[in-house]
Amino acid sequence: MQNIIEISYFIAAILFILGLKKMSSPVTARGGIIWAGIGMLVATLITFLHPGMSNYLLMTAAIFVGGVAALWSGKKVAITDMPQMIALYNGMGGGAAGAIAAVELLKGEFHSQTFLVLAILGALIGSVSFSGSLIAFAKLQGWLRRPLRFAGQQFLNIAVFLAAVGFGVLIIVQGEFNGTIILGFFLAALAYGVLMALPIGGADMPVVISLFNALTGLAVAFEGFVLNNAAMIIAGTVVGSAGTLLTQLMAKAMNRSIGNVLFSSFGAAGGAEEESVEGSMKPINAADAGIMMAYADRVVIIPGYGMAVAQAQHKVWELAELLIKRGVDVKFAIHPVAGRMPGHMNVLLAEANVPYDRLYDLDEINPAFPQTDVSLVIGANDVVNPTARTSPDSPIYGMPILNADQSKNVIVIKRGQGKGFSGVENALFFGDNTRMLYGDGQAMASELIEAIKEF
């Protein structure tokens, strides 16, 4: 039986790895989710056959409740709320790792000091990921609208973290599993996760979600060693390494270090200081914008979070299809940190059945902007702000952007004249070649469609 269990865990781990590999491309992502799901099913079912397993009723009830909740949320949660759902689910993974560690620590049955150290590390990292992800969820959900910062905050954070580490060391050194010390350890770890996430602004949420994802994977891997569970070790390691690489890519896309994301004030709405932008925003109506796009040879569409809020992705693709039928070369430009989570725009456009070969990342599309007749920006802000390229004093200076300002003409669909999450005024909106189409993204896309149909 033990051989069957080990083989099953090995198969589950292979399915996790293959599934994650497939998720790296929009073309195969759906299949990757199915493969990983099958792997999870195999790992879950084989757990029931473990020698000495007895709480079948509790396990079945937990799986049923969790499955129903996941099915309901997966069907009911709007695509605009997907980032906070991802943050919440990721937090649950970290919490689960912490809960496993808590049970093992209270039992106090470790084969060696090494396993005890791994349990403590997994508990610390998992708890931080759990509470930090809950704060990220609250920020994305709009319950915490502004970053919380105060004098001496970093010193408090360090003190709480050292307290958690101190409790952990005390457990290891004493070798006695005192309930009070264990409780203090977990409370300090959870508090640090909260304090770590509170000062981080909305503009940094894609990086933060990736970071907590990496921490959750690492915590699961550590607890896999404690439980001698190969599937947890491999799955946690894969998720942790993938999350780490993704975090680095997200930070690179913003030209910032992880430390800068965690400890700077960037991302606080209205908190940035930048020089004023000369000129004025010049409005355009949908009819004139439609004419401009209908007679263009090359059009680049740049989506952002505003498109997600307006649920405009289907109308935007309908607009693109009309242009394509007229012989216009239409491309979609995707910035790595557009939206509220990694790959947010890819998910939205995939939902609207936009062909994958029309999606271009930053490095692929930027050389094409000088030859682009019209760039249509819908709901994007900071990721197209040329200030990042031209103003050394700007908080976003050096951040790689989509060079929409180099297009012959730019049309920006926007509700109003507000700034982006970084709080920095967007020089693109004041450009001589830019026209502002004010209104809801979906409504304006519909008006553009009607305008083009008239031709």
DSSP string, 170-219: HHHHH----HHHHHHHHHHHHHHHHHHHTT--GGGHHHHHHHHHHHHHHH
For residue 384, which of 344, 348, 333, 435 has the smallest C-alpha distance? 333
Q: Are residues 236 and 349 in the same domain?
A: no
Q: Is the pLDDT of residue 191 over 80?
A: yes
Q: Write down how long the chain is.
A: 455
Query: What is the arithmetic mean of pLDDT over 102-106?
Result: 90
CATH number, residue 310: 3.40.50.1220
Question: In this predicted model, which residue has the larger pLDDT, 24 or 316?
Answer: 316
Q: Are residues 256 and 291 in the same domain?
A: no
pLDDT at site 253: 76
Q: Are residues 302 and 350 in the same domain?
A: yes
pLDDT band (50, 70, 90) for residue 264: low
Query: What is the arithmetic mean of pLDDT over 95-105?
Result: 93
Condensed to tens digits (0 to 9), the pLDDT of residues 23-43 reads 877 778 889 999 999 999 998
Residue 148: phi, psi to the nearest 5?
-100, 115
Note whether residue 269 is domain-resident.
Answer: no
Q: 340 is written with which tokens?
A: 């509220």
pLDDT at site 188: 97
**What is the spatial distance between Cα 417 and Cα 53, in angstroms, rounded to a whole number?**
61
Query: What is the arithmetic mean of pLDDT over 306-312?
Result: 88
Note whether residue 221 is domain-resident.
Answer: yes
pLDDT band (50, 70, 90) for residue 419: low
Note whether residue 10 is domain-resident.
Answer: no
Question: Lowest mean pLDDT: which of 98-102, 181-185, 348-352?
Answer: 348-352
pLDDT at site 266: 46
440 is catalytic: no
Query: What is the arithmetic mean of pLDDT over 184-207?
Result: 87
Domain boundary among 197, 229, 263: 263
pLDDT at site 263: 66
Question: In this predicted model, which residue has the larger pLDDT, 221 or 278?
Answer: 221
Q: Are residues 145 and 111 in the same domain?
A: yes
Q: Are residues 151 and 300 in the same domain?
A: no
**What is the spatial distance between Cα 6 and Cα 46, in angstroms, rounded to a whole number?**
9
Buried b (16+ CB within 10 A) or exposed e, 246-273: bbbebbebbebebeebbebebbbbebbe
Integer angstrom CA distances of residue 414 from 147, 256, 284, 310: 25, 27, 12, 10
pLDDT band (50, 70, 90) for residue 223: very high
Q: Are residues 163 and 291 in the same domain?
A: no
> In DSSP terms, which residues pair with 378 in a beta bridge?
303, 413
pLDDT band (50, 70, 90) for residue 77: confident
pLDDT at site 368: 96
Q: Are residues 249 and 338 in the same domain?
A: no
pLDDT at site 151: 85
pLDDT at site 183: 94
Question: In this predicted model, which residue has the larger pLDDT, 106 or 321?
Answer: 321
Q: Are residues 394 and 248 in the same domain?
A: no
Note whether residue 330 is domain-resident.
Answer: yes
Q: What is the pTM of this model?
A: 0.80
Note whether residue 69 is domain-resident.
Answer: no
Task: Check 288, 297, 382, 393 and give the catalytic one.
Answer: 382
DSSP state, 430?
G
Note whether residue 390 is domain-resident.
Answer: yes
Q: Are residues 201 and 101 in the same domain?
A: yes
Domain boundary among 263, 278, 304: 263
Note whether residue 198 is domain-resident.
Answer: yes
Question: Lowest mean pLDDT: which of 263-272, 304-313, 377-386, 408-417?
Answer: 263-272
Domain boundary among 207, 228, 263: 263
Q: Are residues 336 and 400 in the same domain?
A: yes
Q: Are residues 434 and 291 in the same domain?
A: yes
pLDDT at site 410: 97
Q: Which residue has the tokens 């019209």?
A: 374
Note whether residue 19 is domain-resident.
Answer: no
Q: Are residues 356 and 434 in the same domain?
A: yes
Q: Is the pLDDT of residue 265 over 60?
A: no
Domain of 422? 286-453
362, 402 contact by CB (below 8 A): yes
> In the chain, how many domains are there?
2
**What is the spatial distance between Cα 378 and Cα 90, in angstroms, rounded to a whole number?**
29
Angle at 195 between CA 132 and CA 182, to 5 degrees: 75
Arithmetic mean of pLDDT over the chain = 87
Query: What is the arithmetic mean of pLDDT over 423-437?
Result: 90
